[in-house]
Amino acid sequence: MHIANGQWYLQGWDHLRQAVRTFHLDRVSDACVTDIAAVHGADPVPELFAPTEDEVVARFRFPRAVAPLLSDYLERAEIEEADDALAVASLRLADEQSLKRLAARRGGEVELLEPAGARRAAAAWAAAGLAQYTPES
């Protein structure tokens, strides 16, 4: 998966064209895992998905009790031991702003530590959401 200009893309094998293709995620429907053998491992990775020097290592702290709720993130992360109740995860990302939803969904339990841009993006996103509510008169 890749995000570019606010759009999500999925790299995958196109069985009809017998080649690796990049799909606009909004246009994918009825995706499913098949038992068809993958035979495209030697194909070049499209430039959009190639590792870049722009990759960011993000770090976030979370209570161990919420680890099962973070499994999508933690399966790709390196976990550091913080203490008995907390852990810190390091995760490579192409877009540091992608963690703002992670922080928002856990109601303040997940703390973004690095990079500073991820912290700012999460704070701005939360502030924009809060601004949508007006005090009741």
pLDDT band at 30 (very low <50, low <70, confident <90, very high): confident
Place of tokens 């979370």: 62
pLDDT tens digits, 94-133: 677 777 877 777 778 889 999 888 888 888 888 888 888 8
pLDDT computed for residue 88 by the predictor: 93
Name the segment(s) of the chain with CATH classification 3.30.70.240: 56-131
What percent of the chain lies above the pLDDT cut of 90?
Answer: 9
**Mean predicted lDDT score pLDDT of the chain:** 78
Q: How many CB atoms lie within 10 A of CB 91?
A: 19
pLDDT tens digits, 31-90: 777 887 766 656 565 554 555 566 778 899 999 888 888 877 888 889 987 788 999 999
Asked whether 83 and 55 are in contact (CB, 8 A), the reply is no
> Within the chain, how many helices (H) and strands (E) appear?
3, 7
Fold of 56-131: Alpha-Beta Plaits (3.30.70)
